[in-house]
Amino acid sequence: MPISVEWDNEAKTIIRITYLGRWTWEENRQARQQTLEMVDRVDHIVHTIHDMRQSHGFPTDVITQVRKRLQKKHPRVGLIVVVGNKSFVHVLYDVFATIYDKLVRKRKFYLVHSLEQAYQLIDEFAAPQDHL
């Protein structure tokens, strides 16, 4: 499957979703469902890292699909961090963040260049807020 979902740490506070090659919105929907099931099994905030570094583009209608998914964010999902090292990921994020600025801020949706930056962002956010 071109999208894998797994716990990123033993404490089960981060789920990493890795996108490989080309993928579809149906595959994304399945990965999202798996992510939500994992979040439901714990009683604390879970942050998600969407690793797009090995993705080869996006399916059509990306702005609308991302908006729909952000509007349905699980209450125990903390930060949503996209890791992208390709210019098209950054351009799409910038366009999305410009159009849906309030949604991006409300849902804590971020873009970084590396996994190290994703972990640092989560560490900075999570320290005082991991417990509901």
- Strand order from edge to edge, sheet including 77-83: 3-7, 14-21, 46-55, 77-83, 109-112
The closest alpha carbon to 81, from 42, 54, 38, 52, belongs to: 52
Average pLDDT score, the chain:
89
How far is CA 26 from its chain centroid? Answer: 16
Model confidence over 108-117: pLDDT tens digits? 989 999 999 9
Q: How does residue 93 score in pLDDT terms, banded at 50, 70 and 90?
A: confident
Please check whether the domain covering 3-126 is classified as CATH 3.90.870.20. Answer: no
The pLDDT, as a whole number, for residue 103 is: 82
According to DSSP, the β-strands at 14-21 and 77-83 are: unpaired
**pTM of the predicted model, to two decimals?**
0.88
